[in-house]
Amino acid sequence: MRDPALTYALVALSAALMAIGFAGAWLASNLAKRLTAQVLTMLGALMVCVVIGASQALMLAGGALIFGYALVGVAVLVRLQEAYGTIELQEIDAADAQAEAQETTP
């Protein structure tokens, strides 16, 4: 038997975690921080599932997806660091803009 007040509190807490992660994933300029924020967003969603009492299959699938996203994210980060020498989004965007300008200049 779940206490409704506790359930609401936990849902609110999970939603807050999702919101913090979402804001970080949107605003952080360092891609490692952005990846961490993405994982936080997904963990918040997983917590909502746990609090609501979702099936084990959904929670297991959610956990596997979070792991998969983190793994691919780290792989992309490593390649970005190798290619650009940085994982700061502003520096990467500036390098891309410069490359595009050089391509279009005759």
CB of 21 to another protein, least distance (A): 8
How many C-beta neighbours within 10 Å does residue 62 have? 19
Residues in the chain: 106
DSSP string, 3-35: -HHHHHHHHHHHHHHHHHHHHHHHH-SBHHHHH
Site for another protein in 15-44 (CB under 8 A): 18, 21-22, 25-26, 31, 34-35, 38-39, 41-42, 44
CB count, 10 Å around CB of 71?
Answer: 10
Q: How far is the CB of 13 from another protein (least distance, A)?
A: 14
Query: Which among 35, 46, 30 is positioned nearest to 69, based on CA atoms?
Result: 35
The site string for another protein over 44-83 (x = CB under 8 A, - otherwise) reads xxx-xx--xxxx-xx--xx--xx-xx--xx-xxx-xx--x
- Which residues form the interface with another protein (CB under 8 A)? 18, 21-22, 25-26, 31, 34-35, 38-39, 41-42, 44-46, 48-49, 52-55, 57-58, 61-62, 65-66, 68-69, 72-73, 75-77, 79-80, 83-84, 92-93, 95-96, 99
